[in-house]
Amino acid sequence: MRIVLQRVASASVTVDGEVTGRIGRGYLVLLGVGQDDTEEDCRRLADKMINLRIFPDENDKINLSLSDVGGELLVVSQFTLYADCRKGNRPNFIQAGKPDEAERLYSYFAEYCRSKGKHVETGIFGADMKVELVNDGPFTLVLE
C-alpha cells in the first residue's frame, strides 16, 4: 500500500461535474493498493497517518497531529502510485492490486479512519476524478 499524503488547507474531488468530497484543513490522501496488501496494511498506515505530527503548534514547530488540529481526510484512490516506469515510455501497473480487491481495501481504509473518529470524504473508485487542493506548506509525504 502506498500513500501520498498532502497537508492541505482545503481539498475537493469532482466526478462528472459533481463534487463527491470536500474538506477543510487536513490531509489529501492519494491511496494506491498493491497486489499483496491486506486489511492489516490499511490499519497500520491509517494509524501512522493519523498520528503523524506534521501540523505547526503555537510556536510554529511541526508538533501537532491530525487529531490535535481536528483535521479532516479526503481519500482518493490512485492505482498509478504503482506505475513501473523503469522500462520503455509506457508505465506498467502489474504491481497494482486487482480492481475488486483494491476497491474493497480502499473502502476499508476510509471506514477504518472513520472508526477512529475522523471526518472522511472520498472520491469514487475507478472514476475519472478532478482533484483540487490548497497544499499547506507545501508539506507532502510518501508512506508505504
CA distance 63 to 59: 9
Catalytic residue among 55, 78, 109, 122: 78
- Whether 38 sits among the annotated catalytic residues: the reply is no
Cell of 82: 504503482
CA separation (Å) from 113 to 23, 26, 44, 66, 86? 15, 13, 11, 11, 34
CA distance 136 to 144: 22
- Whether 80 sits among the annotated catalytic residues: the reply is yes
Cell of 22: 470536500
Contacts of 55 (CB under 8 A, 6+ apart): 7, 62, 63, 64, 65, 66, 68, 69, 71
- Whether 95 sits among the annotated catalytic residues: the reply is no
Catalytic residue among 6, 79, 109, 122: 79
From the centroid of its chain, how far is CA 106?
A: 9
Catalytic residue among 35, 38, 80, 93: 80
User: Active-site residues: which are they?
Assistant: 78-80
